[in-house]
Structure 1
C-alpha cells in the first residue's frame, strides 16, 4: 500500500512538471508565431461585470475631463485669484506630475490590500482635492488641491485598467476597454469646450463643481459593485508585502526629477543650480530605485519580470513616447488656435473635436479588430505611421493653416492615437508572464503618463526658447515668450501692422519647431516597433489573485433575471 502511494505521488509530480514544461513552451511558442487557433466561444460579461465596466468608464470620464477642462479656463482662474504666468503653469503641471508618480505605487498597494479599498480611496481623495480647488482664493490652496486631485486621478485611471485584468480574459479586453476609452475620449473632447464656455459665461469654479455628481456616484457605486476579494492574509502579512522603501525613493526621486524638467529652460536656466541639482539628484534616485528593484527588493512595487525581453521594453518606451506627443497635442494645438488664429476659448475647443472624436472611434474599432484577429502589431505599426504623417502636417501649419489642413491633420492624428493606445496597452499584457497582466497594465499606463509629464518640460522649454530666438531676430522684447499665454489678449489688441504680424509669426514658429520634434519622435517609434515588437498570443484565461464575488448582487438583483454568474469566480 505504501509503495503504491509513493508511485502515485511520483506520477503526480511528473505530471505537474510535464504540465509546467508544456505551459512554458506554449508561452515561448506564442511569442514567435502569428497563426493562432480561434477562440471557441466569445466571452460575455454578466450584469455585475458590465456594471463594473461602466462605473470605471464614468470615473475615467471625470479624470480626462479634469485634465483638459483646465486648458481653456486657466486664464480666467489666474485672473480671478491672482498669480503669475509661472504659477498658472504649475496649476496644470502639478496635477500631471503627481498623477504620474503615484500610479505604480497605488496599483502595487492594491495588489496587497485589495482593489476596492484603493479605488474608493482614490475617488475620495480626488473629491477632496476638487473641494479645495472650488474654495481656493489664492494660488497656494489651488496648487494643494490640484496635487491632491492628481493622486486621486492617478489611482482612478490606473486602477480602472488593472481591475479589468481581474475578470476579463485577455483576448476580450481590447473590445471591452473600448467602453472606457470612449468615456475617456469624451472627457478629453468636452473638456476644452466646457472650460471655454465656463470661462466666457460664468465663474471658473464651475470647472470643479461639475466633478461632484460623478464623484458622489463613485463613492457609492465602487464599494457596492467592486466585490473583488484579494488573496487572504493577516494585516501584518499584508503590510510586510508592501515595498515601502521602493515606493518612498521612487516617489521622491521621480517628483524632483520631473519638477526640474518642467522648470528647466523656462523658469530657471538649464545650467543653473536650481535646475541641475534636482535633475541630478532625481536621476540618481531613479537609478538607485532600478538597482534596488533588480537586486534587493523581495516584493518590488514594479515587477522586474515585466522587462523580460526587447519586445516588452520597446512597448513601454513607445507608451512614454505616445504620452509625450499626446499631451503636446492637447496643450499646444489650443495655444496655436488662440494665439495665431485668434479663436475664442469655445471655438478652440470645437476646433479640436475632429482629433479627439476620431481618437475615440479609432480606439474602439482597433479594440474590436485586435480581439477579432488576435493580433496587435498591425495596429501599432499603422498608428505610428499615421502619427508621423500627422506630425509632418502640423509642421505645415505655419505656411498653410486653412480649415481643410488642420481638420485633416486632426483626423489622421486621432486615428493614430486611438490605434496606438489600445493596441500597445494589451500588447504588454500578452507579452508578460501569466499572472503579471495587472502589473503590466499598471506599468503601461504609468509609462504613458510619465511621458506626458516629461513632455510638459521639454515642450515648454522648446517653445519658449524658439519664440525668444524669433523675437530677438526681429528686435522685439523676449519677455513676451516668458508670458506667452498671458500675452495673447494683448497681442490681439495691437493694431494691424508689422509688429503684430511678427509676434504672431513667433508663436507659429515656436509651434512649428515643437511639432518638428514630434515628427522625429514618431518616426523613431515607428522604426523601433517595426523592428522589435513581436507577436504574442492573447488566448489566455484570467489569472489573478483577486476574485469577483457576486453573492451580494444575487441577493439584491436576483440570479435568473439578471444573468449574474458565480461559478467562474471563487470567494
Structure 2
C-alpha cells in the first residue's frame, strides 16, 4: 500500500525563509551597487526607475497572486513567482544599458510580488495558530539579517567581481528554493469559486503607471506630456471606482474606504514608506558620492535602521496592548522627525558614525510606524476582511515608495542640472563618475569639491521633501482620535 506523501514542514520552512531572505537582500544590495551601476551604464537620470519600476510591479502583482493562490493553490503560484524572479535576475545581470536593466526589473518585480504574501500564506497553512506567530517572526527576521549581510556582500561583489553578480547570485538560490518547494510542499488543492477582477486590475495598472510616468516627466520641457499622463491617471481613477462598485469580487473593496481609521492608517503607512525609500536609496549615494566611501561601507550605513526596525516591531507589539494606535504613531513620528532633521542639518563633512546614529533612530521610527499601521488597519475591519486589509496595507506601502522614488529622482536631477549649469567646467557625465567610487578618482582633483557640493545639495533637497512627508503624516494622525473599540481589539 502506497503511503500518502505529506509536506516536510522543516524543509518548506527553510525554503520559505530563503525565498524571503533573497527578496530582502535584493533591496539593500541594489542600493549598495547603484552608484557603481550608474557609473558603468551612465544612467544617473534614470536611477530612480531601477527602484520604482520594481516596487510598482511588485505592488500591482501582489493582490493578483493572492486571488490565484486561492484558485490554483499556494505551490504553483509560489513557484511561478520564484521562476519569474530568477529569470528577471538573470536578465538584470546580463543588462548592458539602463533601459535593459529597468525592463529586466519589471520581470523581477512581477516575480517578487508572489514571494512575500504567499510565503506568509504557506506558513499559515503548515503551522497551527499557536506556533504561527513565532514562525512568522522568525521569517521576518530575515530582513534584519539581510540588512547586515547585503551591504558587505554587495560591496565585496562590486569591488572584487562586477555589479552584474549582484543579480546573478539570485539564480542558484532561486533554483534551489524552487526545487525544495516542488519536492517537499504537498498540498491538496480545493478549487474555490473565486474570480479575478481583470478590469479592476488593468485599470489599477493604468492609473499607477500613468501617474508615475506623469511625475517622472514633470521635468520635461514639453509640459503637455506630464499633463496628459496625469489626466489619464485621474480618468482611470474615476472609471476604476465605477467598475469596482459593481465588481463581483473586486481587487480592492470600496467599502473599506468608508472606515476612517482604515483610511488614515494606510495613508500614514504610504507617506512614511515614501520617506523610507528616500532614506534607503539615497543614503548610500551620499556615503559614496560625497564622503567617497567604498560600496560596502556606503551600504552598511543603512544597516542599523533594519536592525532597530525588528526591535521596534517587538516594542510596538507591547505598546499596542496599552495604547491606541494614534498615540503610538506620535512616538514613532518623534523618532522620524529626529531622523529627517539629522539628515537635513548634517554638514558636508559629517563623519560616518553620525549616519549610523541617524539610521538607528530612523529604524525605531520605521519599525513602530509600519507595525502599528498594519495591526491598526487589520483591527479596523471585520474578521473576514483582514486578508484584504493586509494586502491593501502592503499595496499602500509599496505605492508610497514607488511614487516618491520618482519625485526624489526629479528633485535630485533638477538640483544637479542647475548646479552643473552654473559652472562651464562641470558636466552630468562628471556627476555619474562622482557617484561611483571606482570612477571618482578619474575626475580632476580641483573639481571634486564643487561636484560633491552639487550632489550634497541635491540629496539635502530630497530630505527636505522627506520632512514634508513626515509633517503631512503628523497632520493625518491628528485626525485620528482614540477609538475605544479599536483599542480593545488591539489588546
TM range (shorter): 0.7 to 0.9
Q: Distance in 2 between matches of 1:60 and 1:168?
A: 17
- DSSP 3-state at the match of 1:398: coil
Structure 1 residues 459 and 452: alpha-carbon distance in aligned structure 2, compared to 1, 3 A threshold: same
Select the residue among 281, 291, 297 that pairs with 1:341.
Answer: 291
Select the residue among 208, 229, 249 that pairs with 1:278.
Answer: 229
Is this contact kept in 1: 2:378–2:386, CA < 8 A?
yes
Q: Find out whether 1:363 has 2:313 as its counterpart.
A: yes
Structure 1 residues 70 and 346: alpha-carbon distance in aligned structure 2, compared to 1, 3 A threshold: same
Q: Find out whether 1:242 has 2:192 as its counterpart.
A: no
Q: Which residue of 2 aligns with 1:488?
A: 435
Q: Which residue of 2 aligns with 1:385?
A: 334
Q: Find out whether 1:511 has 2:459 as its counterpart.
A: yes
Is this contact kept in 1: 2:434–2:443, CA < 8 A?
no
Select the residue among 192, 198, 210 that pairs with 1:256.
Answer: 210
Structure 1 residues 51 and 258: alpha-carbon distance in aligned structure 2, compared to 1, 3 A threshold: farther
Structure 1 residues 184 and 290: alpha-carbon distance in aligned structure 2, compared to 1, 3 A threshold: farther
What is the root-mean-square deviation in Å for CA atoms of aligned residues?
A: 3.3
Q: Find out whether 1:62 has 2:25 as its counterpart.
A: no
Structure 1 residues 258 and 159: alpha-carbon distance in aligned structure 2, compared to 1, 3 A threshold: farther
Is this contact kept in 1: 2:58–2:112, CA < 8 A?
yes
Q: Find out whether 1:187 has 2:146 as its counterpart.
A: yes
Q: Which digits, 9 at most, give the CA deviation of each residue in 1:128-160, with x for residues without a partner?
A: 222333444555654443211110112212333
For this pair of structures, how many residues does the alignment match?
Answer: 480
Q: Which residue of 2 aligns with 1:452?
A: 401
Q: Find out whether 1:212 has 2:171 as its counterpart.
A: yes
Is this contact kept in 1: 2:416–2:455, CA < 8 A?
yes
The TM-score normalised by the length of structure 2 is 0.85
Q: Find out whether 1:290 has 2:237 as its counterpart.
A: no
Q: Find out whether 1:413 has 2:362 as its counterpart.
A: yes
Is this contact kept in 2: 1:179–1:364, CA < 8 A?
no
More helix per residue? 2
Q: Distance in 2 between matches of 1:507 and 1:137?
A: 25
Structure 1 residues 485 and 93: alpha-carbon distance in aligned structure 2, compared to 1, 3 A threshold: farther
Select the residue among 263, 276, 301 that pairs with 1:313.
Answer: 263
Q: Which digits, 9 at most, give the CA deviation of each residue in 1:391-415, with x for residues without a partner?
A: 1111111366234532221110011
Q: Which digits, 9 at most, give the CA deviation of each residue in 1:443-487, with x for residues without a partner?
A: 111110111111111101112223444455x5456753x874444
Q: Which residue of 2 aligns with 1:304?
A: 254
The TM-score normalised by the length of structure 1 is 0.74
**Structure 1: 5+ residue stretches without partners:** 1-46, 541-571
Q: Distance in 2 between matches of 1:384 and 1:168?
A: 35
Q: Which residue of 2 aligns with 1:330?
A: 280
Structure 1 residues 167 and 202: alpha-carbon distance in aligned structure 2, compared to 1, 3 A threshold: closer
Q: Which residue of 2 aligns with 1:429?
A: 378
Q: Find out whether 1:501 has 2:449 as its counterpart.
A: yes
Q: Which residue of 2 aligns with 1:397?
A: 346
- DSSP 3-state at the match of 1:435: helix
Q: Distance in 2 between matches of 1:203 and 1:443?
A: 37
Give 1:309 shift: 1.3
Structure 1 residues 139 and 415: alpha-carbon distance in aligned structure 2, compared to 1, 3 A threshold: closer
Q: Which residue of 2 aligns with 1:526?
A: 474
Equivalences for 1:522-561 in 2 at 5 Å?
522-532=470-480, 534-535=482-483, 536=486
Is this contact kept in 2: 1:339–1:504, CA < 8 A?
yes
Q: Find out whether 1:72 has 2:32 as its counterpart.
A: yes
Equivalences for 1:212-231 in 2 at 5 Å?
212-223=171-182
Is this contact kept in 1: 2:51–2:402, CA < 8 A?
no
Q: Which moved more, 1:201-210 or 1:139-148?
A: 139-148
Structure 1 residues 409 and 88: alpha-carbon distance in aligned structure 2, compared to 1, 3 A threshold: closer
Q: Which digits, 9 at most, give the CA deviation of each residue in 1:299-339, with x for residues without a partner?
A: 10112233231110011111111221111111111111112
Is this contact kept in 1: 2:39–2:432, CA < 8 A?
no
Q: Which residue of 1 aligns with 2:3?
A: none
Structure 1 residues 230 and 299: alpha-carbon distance in aligned structure 2, compared to 1, 3 A threshold: farther
Q: Which residue of 2 aligns with 1:564?
A: none
